[in-house]
Structure formats: structure tokens, C-alpha cells
Amino acid sequence: MSEQTLTFQISAKPVERRLDRFLYVQIGTVSRMFLRDLIERESCLVNGEAKPRGYHLRENDRIEVTFETDAETSMKPEDIRLEIVFEDDEILVINKPAGMLVHPTKHVKTGTLANALAFYLNNFQSQIVRPGIVHRLDKETSGLMIVAKTERALRILSAHFQKKLIKKIYLAVVEGTISEDSGTISAPIGRVEEKPHWRVLVDGKEAETKFQVLERRESSTLLELEPITGRTNQLRIHCAHIGHPIVGDEWYGAKPFARLCLHAARLGCYHPNGGWLEFSSDTPTEFSAL
């Protein structure tokens, strides 16, 4: 598989100012969803820095986007069972299992949620449907995700996420006993340049997480977590930051366990056609065992 890097220099104020739409017009051979994923994975840099897909381009901006030339075709449909919580003509809400990647990567091309969605959606539709994955969960995190089935739904839901109109509540089992019943963790998060490792950094981006204790055990605590901001690995980093890493999160200092004990338990959103929807997912059995 070959890799390609495209560079664009903005010499004047572009007609299409949004980063994702500018790239779609300029490249033309890949889908909007594919480009949005590239931007979210920070494979697209503006002046050497990662920017959100809604970033407004300015004169003299330099854009570099790197992607595998046949990456889209590598996402082959696979008949993988999906736990579907809700579905209509516009959206699909699924309960992702722990251990499943959301998107194919350079080294993993099969067994992902995108592979499963490509099969499911096109097996039941009369026209080709590209799964519009609006947000993501870590590979080891389980729980609720919303998927757009149309370009219109993708556009609306993406705007809702940017405007923070989506409500997400997580359950986490953390090491140790937390004495406070509730609180807020505020600590900036940034990326260590030498390796792909996100952590609390003084010059990082603002990050805030609300927590509430649901149950205490001798050596662990069940928490309800609400991310106010949406930084990479935010919940994992913030729990470790206060000295209570999520059970199974060896990357951030926890002891080994059968899985990462983080679960997207509740999801609230506005339907693309209007009206508020709320979904919930049962607590994983591994949490109860703790």
C-alpha cells in the first residue's frame, strides 16, 4: 500500500474556507467521511499543527495531508455481528464491544467497526452506503456510538458535536477509593512529541471532566464520568492524574486486568430531523465482577 502526501498553500482567501470542505474540493477522489477521519487522526496538518475539521482557512496557511492511496478500498465489508440499539433511515446507534477498533489502521485492515458497518449497511440497502462514523471510542472502550447513514445526517450530527449538543456519560471502575462524592477534574492535555502519548501538560489544551461516585469497594470505585471537553484519552488521563487510573489501563499506570473498565453507558442527541433522543447500555459484566 502506497502513501501519498499532498500539500496546499493558501495564497489568497479560499472560496471554501472550512478545512474539510476545502480538502474535499481539492482532492475529489475520496469521500467526505474519509477526509474527516484523516483530520481527526491528525493526518492533516495546517502550518504544522492539527486543526479541527471546521477550522477556517486563512491566507498563507499551508496544508499537508497524508493518506494511503488505497485506504478506502481496504475497508472491505465483513459479516461481523453488531449490537444495534436503535436504527431508522438516518442514524444507527450501536453498542461497540471492548477490543474492537473503530477504523482500519495501517496495520489492522479487518475486524473493525467500519468493516462491520460497511457490510451491514450495504447488505440491507439498495444503494451503496458509506458509514458516517461521527465520533469514536478507544479500541478497549465499550459502549454507545452513533453512526450517520446519510451525508445529511453526518453533516448535522457533526455540527451538533462541534456545538457540544451531544451528551455522553461513561461508567468507569478506577483503582483505589475516592473519598469525594463528586467533583470536577480540570487539567490541560497535550501530546508528547517524541511518541504518540497524550498526557497532562502545562501548555496543553483545556480539558474538563465531571465525576460522581456511584459505588465504593475496598480497592476500587465505580464512577460516572462526563467529559465536558473532548480531548484524546481524556477520561483515562484525568483519572490517572488524580491518582485513580481506570482498572486495566496499563498505559496510564493501572495494574493488568481482563479489559479496560471504561464504558460509554448513556448517549443523548438531537435526531437530524429534530427531537431529543436518549439511549442507555447495560453495565458490562466485568465491572460487576469487580
**DSSP secondary structure string, 200-240?**
E-TTSB--EEEEEEEEE-SSEEEEEEEESS--TTHHHHHHH
Q: Give the three-state DSSP class for 143.
A: strand
The 8-class DSSP code of residue 55 comes to P
HSE at residue 144, side-chain half, CA atoms within 13 A, is 26
Reading the block at residue 71, the C-alpha cell is 485506504
Q: Enumerate the H helices of the chain as residue ranges.
A: 19-27, 32-40, 113-123, 151-162, 234-241, 285-289
Cβ–Cβ < 8 Å for 170, 160: no
Give the whole-angstrom CA distance, residue 6 versus residue 268: 38
How distant, in Å, are the alpha carbons of 21, 46, 94 from that of 79? 32, 38, 15
Q: Which of these is catalytic: 70, 79, 88, 138?
A: 138
Contacts of 126 (CB under 8 A, 6+ apart): none
Is 70 one of the catalytic residues? no
CA dihedral in degrees (251, 234, 220, 287; nearest 10)? -90
Give the whole-angstrom CA distance, residue 236 versus residue 199: 9
* Amino acid present at 161: F
Reading the block at residue 90, the C-alpha cell is 438516518
Question: Hey, which residues are catalytic here?
Answer: 138
